Structure 1
Amino acid sequence: MNEQPYLIPADRVIFEEEIKKSLFITQLAHTPRIESAKAFIEQVKLQHAAARHNCWGFVAGRPDDSLLWGFSDDGEPSGTAGKPILAQLSGSGIGEMTAVVTRYSGGIKLGTGGLVKAYGGGVQQALKQVQTIEKKITTQLQLRLDYSLMPLVQSLMVQYQVTQLDAKFEHRIDLLVEIDIREADVFKQTLVNKTGAKVEIKPKHI
């Protein structure tokens, strides 16, 4: 598993341009999974149901994970729309992103080279407007501890930027926490050392 963080889009972006009387509308959105990518594509298709073509490409995970890529020419000549869209997305270094380029045809043929340039170029322009945030790869841990250890554990959580997701206070305390996966082993070892191995630590099975 790749533990390095990667960039994802913070907001949706729309870029429009007219080329030889055809209107091209490029929409980019954050889509963390293939299901959300397909849902966004369907949403745009409904929004622009009158358009002749809604061509698309997606990178539904890490930017370098080609198993989670997809594209479609949606009726344009093969290789003129979906591939240029995907090429721009996969080359951007940004993950979890889908682009849909809607074309309202103006009756003037663009030719295969013109189409490649129009679809790829629209995504390229939209990518220039994308604001990104860093997505850290995290893991969840379940901690069980005595009440007397809570102040120490809380201070270690602050030190390692651990987020508390849930807590149950019964005869002991059960905490569900989330941490950057690159810090998890050091955090667990520090817990063991500082508490004399008095904290039970289990991975959370998601």
Structure 2
Amino acid sequence: MFTLKTATSFEETIKKSLFICHATPITSAEEALAFFQTYHQADATHNCWAFKLTQSYRFNDDGEPGGTAGRPILQAIEGQELVNVAVLVIRYFGGIKLGTGGLVRAYGGTAAKCLHQAEKEKIIPTTLIRCTATFSEMAMVKSRLWQEGVQLISEDFTENGVCWILSIPDEQLDVLSAVYTNITRGRIFEKIET
């Protein structure tokens, strides 16, 4: 899976109708809706959109015939294996009707071209874990667990040692869990539900 690194825009004219596309990375449905509100053009004929998060999606045809705008935009997002992305396609009607097939191609095509030109980054699934170390274990645990991709979220010292919250790439979780259990003589990672 991938997401966008930064916001991007694209526009094209299809049979005298102007299609303007704005796309951005998002982290929530609320962020997507705020993005659509920010870029919404009140004087445009239609403001159609779609967003996709890892666990959900939504789309809106904004008065275009059902399934001819929002869904093709969503399919453009999915076609490029993107998540956590919001796409708005604004149409200024130019006087020539496109028909349902033409609308599908116009909305989906404009969104796809916009997303195609955007700089993307791979999403690496991670898990938040809590782990502890005594003062005598601390240096060894730190040197063995903190590998590339592992991020320190928080570090709290106690009278006995330290408690760390780490974000660990899922592909490294089993190996690092075994290393941690071995160093700490049986303690296990505590997964944090998000």
> For residues 153-180 of structure 1, what are the alpha-carbon distances to aligned partners after superposition, in whole Å with 9 as ceiling and x for unaligned?
1111234642211111231211111101
Q: Deviation of residue 107 (structure 1)?
A: 2.5
- Give SS of 1:165's match: strand
2:154 aligned partner, one-letter code: D
CA distance in structure 2 between the aligned counterparts of 1:153 and 1:184, rounded to whole angstroms: 14
- Give SS of 1:183's match: helix
Structure 2's unaligned 5+ residue stretches are: none
Contact (CA 8 Å) 1:58, 1:86: kept in 2 or not? yes
Match of 1:60 in 2: 53
Bigger drift between 179-188 and 117-126 goes to 179-188
Match of 1:148 in 2: 136
Contact (CA 8 Å) 2:145, 2:180: kept in 1 or not? no
1:176 aligned partner, one-letter code: I
Q: 1:29 aligns with which of 21, 24, 45?
A: 24
**2:132 equivalent to 1:139:** no
In the alignment of these two chains, the number of paired residues is 193
Q: Deviation of residue 12 (structure 1)?
A: 1.1
CA distance in structure 2 between the aligned counterparts of 1:161 and 1:89, rounded to whole angstroms: 26
Q: 2:105 aligns with which of 117, 141, 145?
A: 117
CA distance in structure 1 between the aligned counterparts of 2:84 and 2:148, rounded to whole angstroms: 26
How has the CA–CA distance of structure 1 residues 39 and 200 changed in structure 2, closer, same or farther, with 3 Å as cutoff?
same
Match of 1:105 in 2: 93
- Give SS of 1:99's match: strand
> For residues 63-102 of structure 1, what are the alpha-carbon distances to aligned partners after superposition, in whole Å with 9 as ceiling and x for unaligned?
xx6xx22211101122221222122122221111121100
CA distance in structure 2 between the aligned counterparts of 1:10 and 1:104, rounded to whole angstroms: 28
**2:112 equivalent to 1:127:** no
TM-score by length of 1: 0.85
How has the CA–CA distance of structure 1 residues 161 and 112 changed in structure 2, closer, same or farther, with 3 Å as cutoff?
closer
Q: 2:164 aligns with which of 151, 175, 178?
A: 175
The share of aligned pairs that are identical, in percent, is 36
> For residues 22-65 of structure 1, what are the alpha-carbon distances to aligned partners after superposition, in whole Å with 9 as ceiling and x for unaligned?
211011111233222222222222xx12112001122222xxx6
How has the CA–CA distance of structure 1 residues 160 and 88 changed in structure 2, closer, same or farther, with 3 Å as cutoff?
closer
Q: Deviation of residue 117 (structure 1)?
A: 1.9
Q: 1:184 aligns with which of 168, 173, 190?
A: 173
> For residues 102-135 of structure 1, what are the alpha-carbon distances to aligned partners after superposition, in whole Å with 9 as ceiling and x for unaligned?
0112233223232222111101211220211111
Q: 1:163 aligns with which of 135, 147, 151?
A: 151
CA distance in structure 2 between the aligned counterparts of 1:163 and 1:60, rounded to whole angstroms: 23
Cα RMSD (Å): 1.9
- Give SS of 2:171's match: coil
CA distance in structure 1 between the aligned counterparts of 2:124 and 2:82, rounded to whole angstroms: 13
2:47 aligned partner, one-letter code: N
- Give SS of 1:113's match: helix
- Give SS of 2:180's match: helix
CA distance in structure 2 between the aligned counterparts of 1:160 and 1:11, rounded to whole angstroms: 24
